[in-house]
Amino acid sequence: MAIFNTIENKDKWMIYIKSIILGAAFIMPFAYIQFTQIQAEMRLSYFVMPTLATLFVAILLIKVNLLQAKVMKERSLFKAAVDFSLEFTYIRTLEGEYEYVSRAVMDVTGYTQKEFYDNPNFMDRIIHPDDKAYWYGHVHNVNHHGEPENIEFRIVTKTGEVRWIQHLCGAVHGASGEIIGIRSTNIDVTERRLTDDKLKKMGFYDPLTNLPNRRYISDHMAELILQDQLAEEHQEFAVMFLDLNRFKYVNDAHGHTIGDELLRQVAERFQSGWAQKYKSVISRFGGDEFVIVKQGGVTPTDIQNCVNNLNQLLEEAFVIQGHSLSIGTSVGVAVYPRDGMTSETLIKNADAAMFRAKNEGLSMKFFSHEMAEHASNMVGLQSQLKNALQDGLIQPHYQPLVDMKTGQTIGVEVLARWITQDGSQAPSPAVFIPVSEETGLIWSLSEMMISQAGRQIIKWQEQGVKMKYSINVSARQFADDNFCHQAINQFKRLGVDPESVQIELTETILLNNIERSIEKIQHLKAEGFSIALDDFGTGFASLHYLTLFPLDTLKVDRAFVVNILEDKRQYAIAKSIINLAHDLDLVVVAEGIETEEQRKLLADLGCDIGQGYLFSRPVAPENISLSHIGGGGDSFIPQGTRIQ
């Protein structure tokens, strides 16, 4: 400020002196001519009035010059502040002529100051075509009302680059308050907008598939519901919950890298015009699940046509890294407002319908209120099961495995049982085991059962009892890549020798991913575990698979035992299974033996081990008679921890 004050004082003295000289130069010559030429007389008193006139003119000139100097100073200060600013600033008339354009115009727009000065309303030319209507509305508003505005829009620079501009605009008012011009500062906010868009995309879009995510689709439904509530007539829309069939097998067989690429290619097919054709928004809800919101026709025929077309998109195999992969879909449908009034309810009900479609082998299923009741029961049972696990009410019971030749108990199978504190009937394993698998509680249940059974095994070993122990593993557990590592570590941590443990697997589990299953079995056997194929004959396995898997034991399902005396076909199948197993050097266990006649017949057929109510129901460990336990180092059937 001191610099400006010094300059200002010097300028004022110069203005005073110049104004007096100019005033004298203007008045005195006329006075001199009048006195000498006209009056022909020269007196000093004659110069009093001219001198006063000179001072008056000088004062007027001083005021004019001071005002002009002030304007020039303010303009200089304005230019000093604005010309070196990174923001592009301009002042224009209401007719669009530019009275001032800052130097930054070149950096921001690529155009020169001269191009703006020579072309009124030049800003109109460089507005992005998609933003022109917005821009013209702004210009009209600020020209007529003068209210300051802060808006953002896109421009196209001289080189064709698209940039985002923050436009701060206000009116310039005249002395009487009328609008005489418009001043504007324009800031390049392209980087900030790109960052905002990226953050928005991260918040509302799935990074793997670039589809809208769960949050986006929920907000979209909420907006549709709000629009419907404001409309005079209901505007129905359908929510379709889609699950990819066989995707889990792709992940298990080929790894997550190929699985992720498959999801990307599925998303590309969805986005190839299908969504626009059916007026739909499709989102990735999580994993291999997608949620589709369809507006327009929502009749059963409309939806069925939509799903059929969707499946046609996926009919052609996906080729990824040399692998030809085929997948299908299961779709559940809920319709607003019939099946729910909130996005959360609609998604939940569509999910329930999808689960029913998958269980029934259908491509599509509409939601019904019976499904809601089932889902509610599942939620309630899940909560009860979680509490039972926390309270230690899920306990191991043991069912003897009996040598068919000697009648001695050579093992036990450990079965999970739900014990109630008040003696009331608890859910059976056939009910709570599937719930545990579906909800992910199977891991807690398995860990608890193995922990309790492991401590019991150690206790029996300290009493001199030598047995093996069979463990049934669920499909969800075995499919996990960390299963082998976790199982091995858990038994070692408990102090249980893996050689005393046999793991039971069903045909369905093994066939999910044959190559990976063989690898896992070989890993477990290398640690000392033995492997049994459980419920043999009830799945869809080819006999060829018995030669692929390095098995130790074959367990004949009770379906071939219950009527073995009356049904010649069951007898023939049981006999064939036993002979085949022995030819493959496998131990044979028959499940579900309930009568002495069944035991004798199976023994005559050469069955090695028997299990069933004839020998004992599953009992608590304290109810097992150790005196009936036989077999030593040569016993080959594990007594087990079966979670079923």
d(CA 252, CA 256): 8
Q: Which residue has the tokens 């023939």?
A: 572
d(CA 150, CA 138): 10
Same domain flag for 308 and 447: no
Contact 480, 508 (CB under 8 A): no
* 615 is a domain residue: yes
Same domain flag for 524 and 417: yes
Domain's final residue, options 80, 111, 138: 80
Same domain flag for 635 and 520: yes
Same domain flag for 404 and 425: yes
pLDDT recorded at residue 42: 56
Same domain flag for 553 and 638: yes
User: What CATH number should be reported for the domain holding residue 590?
Assistant: 3.20.20.450
**pLDDT-derived band at 188, boundaries 50, 70, 90:** very high
* 386 is a domain residue: yes
* 116 is a domain residue: yes
Of the candidates 614, 201, 643, the one whose C-alpha atom is nearest the C-alpha of residue 430 is 643
Domain's final residue, options 25, 51, 80: 80
Same domain flag for 175 and 224: no
Same domain flag for 474 and 605: yes
pLDDT recorded at residue 432: 87
290: phi then psi, degrees, rounded to nearest 5: -130, 145
**pLDDT (tens digit per residue) in 344-392:** 999 999 998 988 887 677 889 999 887 767 666 777 788 888 889 888 8
* 201 is a domain residue: no
Q: Give the domain range for residue 117.
A: 88-194
Of the candidates 390, 391, 355, 387, the one whose C-alpha atom is nearest the C-alpha of residue 370 is 355
Same domain flag for 210 and 312: yes
pLDDT recorded at residue 444: 85
Same domain flag for 219 and 354: yes
Q: Is residue 522 scored above 90 in pLDDT?
A: yes
User: What CATH number should be reported for the domain holding residue 106?
Assistant: 3.30.450.20
d(CA 157, CA 186): 14
- Is this structure's pTM higher than 0.75? no
* 210 is a domain residue: yes
Cα–Cα distances in angstroms (integers) from residue 578 to residues 93, 541, 575, 583, 606, in the given order: 101, 16, 5, 9, 7
Using DSSP's 3-state secondary structure scheme, residue 91 falls into: strand
Contact 468, 453 (CB under 8 A): no
Domain's final residue, options 367, 388, 416: 367
Q: Is residue 59 scored above 80 in pLDDT?
A: no
558: phi then psi, degrees, rounded to nearest 5: -65, -20
Q: Which residue has the tokens 């007719």?
A: 95
- Containing 170, the helix (H) or strand (E) segment is strand 162-173
d(CA 321, CA 266): 15
Q: Is residue 164 scored above 90 in pLDDT?
A: yes
* 419 is a domain residue: yes
Same domain flag for 595 and 462: yes
Burial class (CB in 10 A: 0-12, 13-18, 19+), 3: exposed
Same domain flag for 40 and 152: no
Burial class (CB in 10 A: 0-12, 13-18, 19+), 271: middle
Counted domains in the chain: 4
Contact 281, 292 (CB under 8 A): yes
pLDDT recorded at residue 623: 81
**pLDDT (tens digit per residue) in 14-32:** 655 665 666 556 656 655 5
* 42 is a domain residue: yes
**pLDDT-derived band at 628, boundaries 50, 70, 90:** low
pLDDT recorded at residue 1: 36
DSSP state of 549: S
Same domain flag for 550 and 584: yes
* 97 is a domain residue: yes
